[in-house]
Amino acid sequence: MTLEGHVPDLWHPAREWERGAEDIIDVWRFELDVQEHDWAILTPDETRSARRIVVAEKGGRKASARANLRRILARYIDTPPEDVSFVYGEHGKPMLAEQDEPQFNLSDSGTKGLVAVSRGVRIGVDIEHARGNRSFTGIADRFFAQSESDALRALPSESRPAAFYRAWTRKEAYLKAWGTGLTFASNRFTLDYVGEGPGTLLTTEMPNDDVSRWHFRDVALGQDYKGAICFEGPDRPIRWWTV
């Protein structure tokens, strides 16, 4: 499978991080290496929810994702990671409990995790471990709008995997920025994804939304992974950090 497409690879080591200007978006990537000290900073609820996952290795990765999220947010709010406290939106989107900012979103897939952090604007993020042996057009028929699914079918078969994951991660990132979970169907909005540009929202049935409000960026994650972020405008600078 070829996940062709050029995405700028501009990652900086986390140790170089310092607080940025108000309008900056920080994107963080990390490996889900399960460490004992990850479990130590989780709440009992977070520990229970990771331990409930039947495959222990996957539960460990969930714990690692949460621990990384805590360590990342701790930088912004000057608190120890174990003291970061969350509340949840109606459909499960985590937010900080004691302050509105920064806003953030987490995604994990395979052995990698991604967190994006913004101020003043909603943000969503998605990462997918890309697999080649899937019926991309079949999945698109189920989850994409008709025009998006037609666009995938019109591509030569070797270009479909990359295009599929580009569309999927952008669509998921948009839904995660809104925090609607499964309550807003992924075929009720369309975006462009076939070209190499960052993509734009073309149509949406989301109440009180406007297509010009949202921006997308693909995330460079190496050969087998695709990632995207979606954030509210105006457009703003992005910094890329690797933990």
> Who's near 124: CB < 8 A, 6+ residues apart?
105, 116, 172, 173, 174, 175, 176, 177, 178, 179, 229, 230, 231
Q: What minimum distance in Å lies between the beta carbon of 21 and ligand COA?
A: 25
Q: What minimum distance in Å lies between the beta carbon of 32 and ligand COA?
A: 11
Q: What minimum distance in Å lies between the beta carbon of 43 and ligand COA?
A: 12
Q: Does residue 204 belong to the site contacting ligand COA (CB under 6 A)?
A: no
Contact region for ligand COA (CB under 6 A) — 10-18, 61-69, 214-222, 230-238?
61-69
Q: Does residue 138 belong to the site contacting ligand COA (CB under 6 A)?
A: no
Distance, CA of 27 to chain centre: 9
> Who's near 74: CB < 8 A, 6+ residues apart?
80, 81, 83, 84
- If phi over 0 gives left and psi between -120 and 50 gives alpha, with beta otherwise, what is residue 134? beta
Enter the tokens of residue 20: 């940025």
> Within positions 66 to 85, which residues make up the interface with ligand COA, using CB under 6 A?
66
Contact region for ligand COA (CB under 6 A) — 87-95, 130-138, 193-201, 225-233?
87-95
Q: What minimum distance in Å lies between the beta carbon of 94 and ligand COA?
A: 5
> Within positions 154 to 193, which residues make up the interface with ligand COA, using CB under 6 A?
168, 171-172, 175-176, 179, 181-182, 186
Q: Compute CA distances 63 → 130, 223, 242, whole Å.
A: 22, 25, 18
Applying CB under 6 A, the residues found at the interface with ligand COA are: 62, 65-66, 91-94, 105-108, 126, 143, 168, 171-172, 175-176, 179, 181-182, 186
